[in-house]
Amino acid sequence: MSSDATPDPYAEPMVFGQRMQILRTRRGMSRTVLAGLLGKSPSWVKQVEGGRLQMPKLPMVLRIAEALRVRDLADLTGDQSASIGLFEGPGHARLPQVRAAIDAFPLTTRRAAPSSVHLRERLTRAWSARHSASHHRDVIGALLPALIQDAQLAVLQADSASDRRVAQGLLSEAYGLSQFFLAYQPDASLLWRVVERAMISAQESEDPHAIGTAAWLATQAHRDSGHAHFDAADAVNLETLRYLEALLPDASDDVLAITGALHFEAGYTAARRGETGTAWRYWDRARAMAERLPTDYFHPVTSFSRAVMGAHAVTVAVELHAGAESVRQASAADAVTIPSRPRRARHRIEEARGYQLDGQAEAALATLDRAYRTAPETIRYNGYARRIILEEAESKNPAQRRRASELAVKVGVLAA
């Protein structure tokens, strides 16, 4: 290994500050950016990393872990007895079967592929089942292996160029559904194989809606990989928006919706950067696109609709660390109108983040409890929810501590 290579923070015993510096550097994040995310000064970050300040208390450690997208708390603290997954949830029982279906490429035609009409109906039902189920990973994990295999066969057995393009669009959508199953599970390389294959199949389909949807999913994957990947998220997002803009005058509702969803994603990334004006400008563009849609329209992949714009406003405010604005937006948003259990639960988690930013810890825990009742698997795999629960489990308020501890057991952060 060359002398200037980045050291492995786990190879030798290291103090907290050294681990924090290495993990920050690996994320491509400056001290100034990390300080801004933590509400601290760059000199404070420097002093912690240099060992001149001791390891902070748990609430700040959890905020550092969140900012650095640390998957396991032990990676930051060095204490293996504190091994708690944050941004990587537990491996689902159906993960091996889904992985096997993704990794297998059919090269021979041992059986006939189902028709594109049949595959389309199965995908429609799969999305519907995902939105209506409280344990949505159980549901789609059971459907995915056969869906992926049959969509792969449909591409392989297509009789004409047009049939092949249709099959590629369906295969891209099956990979997109897989991304929802795989997100925050302990197999990042599998997730990235799905992201890339979905984008390639979408391009082969030449379908603007399929291309936009795959780009939306790729944008999220890049952004969730951390600060160093924000430029990559913007690159795929904004290039796809440029491609779709020319099609908007005669666009279908689905193309309008995916364009609106991409506008919001650009605002989401800007908010993660702390760019307030840019974030709200893209949110405004997304809202304008939503207003062109029918009142009851709901995009099956992105959940984009008129109903979701209030939830998106909460997310922008939370990512900008604007606690009071987050609470104001939450009071204006109506989660009940979002016709998707996992998306409603995700909105509740964003509301809880806003309440905690605003110093309303009891409201944050109550909102997380509602998220759990709506869709337990959503909160179980969400790093932000897990961080809030762990932080409040150390509260000096006995009632808050008890409520957080009970949630921690239900979510699986702590053992009963």
Q: Does residue 73 fall inside a structural domain?
A: yes
Alpha-carbon span 341 to 136, nearest angstrom:
9
Q: In CATH, what number is assigned to the domain containing residue 66?
A: 1.10.260.40
- Residue 76 and residue 134 in one domain: no
pLDDT at 198: 97
Q: Position of tokens 């980045």?
A: 6
- Residue 164 and residue 97 in one domain: yes
Average pLDDT, the chain: 89
313 band by pLDDT with thresholds 50, 70 and 90? very high
- Residue 136 and residue 197 in one domain: yes
For residues 252-270, average pLDDT: 98
Q: Does residue 97 fall inside a structural domain?
A: yes
- Residue 55 and residue 32 in one domain: yes
| 302: number of Cβ within 10 Å | 22
pLDDT at 87: 55
80 band by pLDDT with thresholds 50, 70 and 90? low
- Residue 112 and residue 33 in one domain: no
Contact between residue 39 and residue 49 where contact means Cβ atoms under 8 Å apart = no
Domain boundary among 174, 206, 238: 206
| 154: number of Cβ within 10 Å | 24
Lowest mean pLDDT segment, chosen from 170-174, 189-193, 261-265, 309-313: 189-193
For residue 50 the two structure tokens come to: 């240099």
Q: Does residue 58 fall inside a structural domain?
A: yes
| 330: number of Cβ within 10 Å | 26
Give the chain's domain count. Answer: 2
5 band by pLDDT with thresholds 50, 70 and 90? very low
- Residue 130 and residue 196 in one domain: yes
Q: Does residue 326 fall inside a structural domain?
A: no
- Residue 154 and residue 66 in one domain: no
pLDDT in tens, 96-136: 999 999 998 777 777 899 999 999 999 999 999 999 998 99
- Residue 179 and residue 99 in one domain: yes
Residue 74, Cβ density class (10 Å: 0-12 exposed, 13-18 middle, ≥19 buried): middle
Expressed as residue numbers, the domain containing 111 is 91-206
Domain boundary among 37, 65, 82: 82
User: Residues, the chain, total?
Assistant: 416
pLDDT at 52: 86
Q: Does residue 259 fall inside a structural domain?
A: no
How is residue 85 annotated by DSSP? B
pLDDT at 3 over 60: no
pLDDT at 185: 82
CA atoms within 13 A on the CB side of 354: 26
Domain boundary among 172, 206, 240: 206
- Residue 114 and residue 200 in one domain: yes
- Residue 77 and residue 162 in one domain: no
Alpha-carbon span 282 to 81, nearest angstrom:
43
Alpha helices in 333-412 (DSSP H): 341-357, 361-374, 376-380, 383-392, 398-411
Contact between residue 167 and residue 153 where contact means Cβ atoms under 8 Å apart = no
Q: Does residue 274 fall inside a structural domain?
A: no
- Residue 73 and residue 98 in one domain: no
pLDDT in tens, 54-72: 888 877 888 888 788 777 7
